[in-house]
A and B are shown apart, each in its own frame.
Chain A
Amino acid sequence: MSEYLTVEGLAKRWPMQSVEISFSLAEGGTLALLGPSGCGKSSVLRMIAGLLSPDAGRITLAGEDITRLPPARRRVGMVFQDHALFDHLTVEDNVGYGLVSQGMRRGEARERAAEWLERFGLGGFSKRRPLTLSGGERQRVALARTLAVSPRLVLFDEPLSALDAELRRRMQDELRAHQRSLGYTAIYVTHDVAEAEILADSVLRMA
């Protein structure tokens, strides 16, 4: 399989710390970046997403050099540790947000959002506010919001660390099942070895 995502010598330096990384990933593949807190795992994700500019290196996605592209034009999605839902919007408008950005009419975006919510077992949640949801529900809305715009790559920054142990196990299986059925390419950041092994085909350890 040809390489879909290539990260070459991607580096960032801070006064007390630095990170440098190279790896590649096939289309539909999943990779876990594993390492202790503060080793720069999340910074790697933020550089791939375009939220942090690297000091050196190159990122190629589906044959396109995206290193200098602004975040909105990379077509890379990200699921955040605290879900980062927009509390001023309803659940359906959260999920439809990216579609409206792409120019879709709001009504149509809401219909599409409803389909995604149905798929994630959240039918009937459309008009709810994020603040009224449980941890697991928020997690699913965040995932639906990210996947609704069909990103070329999905990044997960410690996606389950805010959940309790039992829910976390359930969500690990759920995430894996979704990835298998939808076939998206994903990178997970985690500090939990067992979680890395459940979620991803391959694991990259960072020190």
Chain B
Amino acid sequence: MNGIARARKRLCLEWTAVALGATALCLSVLSFAVPAARSVSAAFAAPAGTIAPVGDSVGNSVGNSVGDSAAMLLRILASLKFTVSQALLSSALAVAIGLPAGFFVARREFPGRRALLAASGVPLCVPPMIVTLAFVLFYGRQGTLNSFLMGAFGLKNPPITFLYSFAGIVIAHGFYNFPVVLRTVSQVWERLPREEEEAATLLGAGPFRVFRTVTLPRLSGAILSSAVLVFLYCFFSFIIVMTFGGIGGTSLEVELYRAARSSLDFRMAGAIAIAETVPALLIVVLYSRLGRRLSADTEGTRPPRPRLAPHGFTERLALAGYLAFILAFFAGPLLSILVRSFVVPSGAFTSIRGHSLGLGQWMLLLSRSNFAPAVVNTVRVAVPVALISTLAAVAYALAEDAFRDAFPRERSPLALRVAPLAPLAVSSVALGFGWGLLAPRGNAFFLVLAQSAMAWPFAWTQVRSSLDRIPQSVRDAASLASSSRLDAAFRVRLPLASRGIVSAAAFSFAISAGDASLPLVLSMGKFENLPLLLFRLAGSYRFSEACACTVVLALICGVVFFAMDSGGKAEGEHV
């Protein structure tokens, strides 16, 4: 084969890959846009067209319709208020917990630092279903903490009762999401120029004043950006609010689920979809703008500052106290799942005290006839989701780069920057509701499409940030030495971004494998997967068995992460 034929063959392969990527991108975008539009359009359907719950009179008069609309609006406004206030407080709590962690991880060297840093994967890799279960086991009336306190102080009643309340929702959200703040803030903090802080110190400022006047303003972008992301997660939080939400009101997401699945009021569901999507879209635009500012903060070749050992007694005490706090309130609940999976209960709803340890619950779980199909289905859905969303993310990122190359002087239009994040503005329940209207009988294929639509913004974030880390000179050198732009992308840029691409696939896998919301909302008949099995086991108070199921789910995701991580290191060895 001569040189030209070889170059042509390579180009042919590259175009095939582009076609695959473009198909995945189209699938992901359509799987999001069409059902989202359908769920929103349900709000405009004629009231008589809705399927009224049993007992309701069908065929309302005009007066009734106006009255209904007003009542609907009031209900939505009350839920909106509840949703926004819990999300605001949750974000504030996540910042309060995450900021000290950001400091210690970025600037201090201590035993446990890597473990704390590893926690940053939790909000993405550990599904809310598992966190909910962990909190119930740890903080519940009969949970580990209450059992311990009652035993230690001889109390008759459990002293900790906040869980099933507004405070419970906020605390669960705050602890679940603080690693988002930790990760974003520490990345900026470790690269802050030392000189500015030293100059302020030489000008007579004490440590607190240096922090307040020099460090904090520099960190504000990272804090705000992570807080906005946490706000968005909490705004759309479903399982946690559904489980812990008390009588005092509930969130839009739970209202939407009830309207779509219990009362079958599709008009109400559509209206709620609008009420939650419009503000969320504004938040996504804000997040995208903050993200640009943030990437300017972390860009550049400035290496991370060397980390020091904690100095002074006060700092050591603060660090020890903080680590104990995180261990007790964040790691504790998650670890209690593992412990609980080996507890053999004697009653339906029992505490750990007085029970023996054993493999009984594991045997029970493994012998369930629906356990093996659940494992198979989880993997069978998560693998194509990882493939489609990662391909879509890579295709979109390369299209963005082509746009930047073609119009180097123009800022990329807002639509181009917000488009990959747009699925973040539509909740999984709203998306599932839209899918349900389009395809009343759900199946695994629709689940794959719907989850790909939800997962690809996360995949895109990973791919985009790895591509953005490639220095301009390397991109230029590749353009000069490659036979085409496409060739430069496939032989230099993508291999250099391989870590990001691999972690995009791992995250997408984990998002799919842990997602209980979409399988719940799509009517999938007898379909069974691990999150659904987990949901049913926890719902019927079979906590130990649910914990064993959680451990299986965590093991599957852990194995994928481990395999992909070592694969990512080996990748990039080839041209």
Query: Taking beta carbons and an 8 Å cutoff, which residues of A are in contact with B?
Result: 46, 49-53, 70-72, 76-78, 80-89, 93, 97-98, 100-106, 145, 149
Could you say which of B6, B471, B476, B492 has the most chain A C-beta atoms within 10 Å of its C-beta?
B476
B1-44 CB contacts (< 8 Å) to partner A? 2-7
The one of A49, A82, A89 that contacts B480, using a Cβ cutoff of 8 Å: A49
Report chain A residues within 8 Å CB of B473: 80-84
Q: Which residue of A lies closest to B494 (CB)?
A: A88
**Shortest distance in angstroms between A124's beta carbon and chain B's nearest beta carbon?**
20
B530-575 CB contacts (< 8 Å) to partner A? 572-573, 575
Is there contact, CB below 8 Å, between B7 and A86?
no
B199 within 8 A of A: no
Is there contact, CB below 8 Å, between A101 and B476?
no
B318-350 CB contacts (< 8 Å) to partner A? none
Is there contact, CB below 8 Å, between A77 and B492?
no
Q: Which residue of A lies closest to B479 (CB)?
A: A71
B412 within 8 A of A: no
B481 within 8 A of A: yes
B428 within 8 A of A: no
Report chain B residues within 8 Å CB of A105: 6
Is there contact, CB below 8 Å, between B477 and A80?
yes
Report chain B residues within 8 Å CB of A86: 474, 477-478, 492, 495-496
Check A78/B476 contact, CB under 8 A, given A103-B4, A104-B3: yes
B487 within 8 A of A: yes
Report chain A residues within 8 Å CB of B306: none
Could you say which of A46, A77, A87 has the most chain B C-beta atoms within 10 Å of its C-beta?
A87
Is there contact, CB below 8 Å, between A51 and B476?
yes
The one of A46, A93, A97, A103 that contacts B2, using a Cβ cutoff of 8 Å: A103
Report how far A53 CA is from B479 CA in the complex, Å.
14
Is there contact, CB below 8 Å, between B408 and A52?
yes
Is there contact, CB below 8 Å, between B482 and A72?
yes
The one of B4, B5, B480, B495 that contacts A71, using a Cβ cutoff of 8 Å: B480
Q: Which residue of A lies closest to B477 (CB)?
A: A84
**Shortest distance in angstroms between B479's beta carbon and chain A's nearest beta carbon?**
5
Report chain A residues within 8 Å CB of B478: 86
Q: Which residue of A lies closest to B483 (CB)?
A: A101
**Shortest distance in angstroms between B331's beta carbon and chain A's nearest beta carbon?**
35
The one of A84, A87, A98 that contacts B476, using a Cβ cutoff of 8 Å: A84
Report how far A100 CA is from B11 CA in the complex, Å.
12
Query: Taking beta carbons and an 8 Å cutoff, which residues of B are in contact with A?
Result: 2-7, 408, 471, 473-474, 476-485, 487-488, 491-492, 495-496, 498, 572-573, 575
Check A97/B481 contact, CB under 8 A, given A86-B496, A88-B572: yes
Is there contact, CB below 8 Å, between A102 and B3?
yes
The one of B481, B495, B575 that contacts A145, using a Cβ cutoff of 8 Å: B481
Is there contact, CB below 8 Å, between A87 and B496?
yes
Q: Which residue of A lies closest to B480 (CB)?
A: A71
The one of B4, B479, B575 that contacts A89, using a Cβ cutoff of 8 Å: B575
Report how far A83 CA is from B482 CA in the complex, Å.
17
Question: What's the A-B contact tally at a CB cutoff of 8 Å?
Answer: 90
Is there contact, CB below 8 Å, between B474 and A77?
no
Report how far A72 CA is from B491 CA in the complex, Å.
14
Q: Which residue of B lies closest to A52 (CB)?
A: B408
The one of A78, A84, A89, A101 that contacts B482, using a Cβ cutoff of 8 Å: A101
Report how far A105 CA is from B4 CA in the complex, Å.
11
**Shortest distance in angstroms between B246's beta carbon and chain A's nearest beta carbon?**
54
Is there contact, CB below 8 Å, between B6 and A51?
no
Is there contact, CB below 8 Å, between B495 and A88?
yes
Report how far A71 CA is from B475 CA in the complex, Å.
12
Report chain A residues within 8 Å CB of B491: 97, 100-101
Report how far A145 CA is from B492 CA in the complex, Å.
14
Is there contact, CB below 8 Å, between B484 and A102?
no
**Shortest distance in angstroms between B476's beta carbon and chain A's nearest beta carbon?**
5
Check A103/B3 contact, CB under 8 A, given A84-B474, A93-B575: yes
Report how far A101 CA is from B481 CA in the complex, Å.
7
Could you say which of A52, A76, A86, A89 has the most chain B C-beta atoms within 10 Å of its C-beta?
A86
**Shortest distance in angstroms between B261's beta carbon and chain A's nearest beta carbon?**
49
Report how far A109 CA is from B478 CA in the complex, Å.
17
Task: Report the 8 A-B pairs with minimum CB-CB distance, sorted nearest first.
Answer: A103-B3, A88-B572, A84-B473, A84-B477, A103-B7, A98-B481, A80-B473, A101-B483
**Shortest distance in angstroms between B481's beta carbon and chain A's nearest beta carbon?**
4
17 A/B residue pairs, CB under 8 Å, sorted by A: A49-B480, A50-B479, A50-B480, A52-B408, A70-B484, A71-B480, A77-B481, A78-B476, A78-B480, A80-B476, A82-B471, A84-B471, A84-B474, A85-B477, A86-B492, A97-B491, A104-B6
**Shortest distance in angstroms between B463's beta carbon and chain A's nearest beta carbon?**
16
Is there contact, CB below 8 Å, between A49 and B471?
no
Is there contact, CB below 8 Å, between B575 and A51?
no
Q: Which residue of A lies closest to B474 (CB)?
A: A84
**Shortest distance in angstroms between B402's beta carbon and chain A's nearest beta carbon?**
13
**Shortest distance in angstroms between A56's beta carbon and chain B's nearest beta carbon?**
15
Check A101/B477 contact, CB under 8 A, given A86-B496, A93-B575: no
**Shortest distance in angstroms between A90's beta carbon and chain B's nearest beta carbon?**
9
**Shortest distance in angstroms between B277's beta carbon and chain A's nearest beta carbon?**
38
Is there contact, CB below 8 Å, between A77 and B480?
yes
Is there contact, CB below 8 Å, between A78 and B477?
yes
Is there contact, CB below 8 Å, between A102 and B480?
no
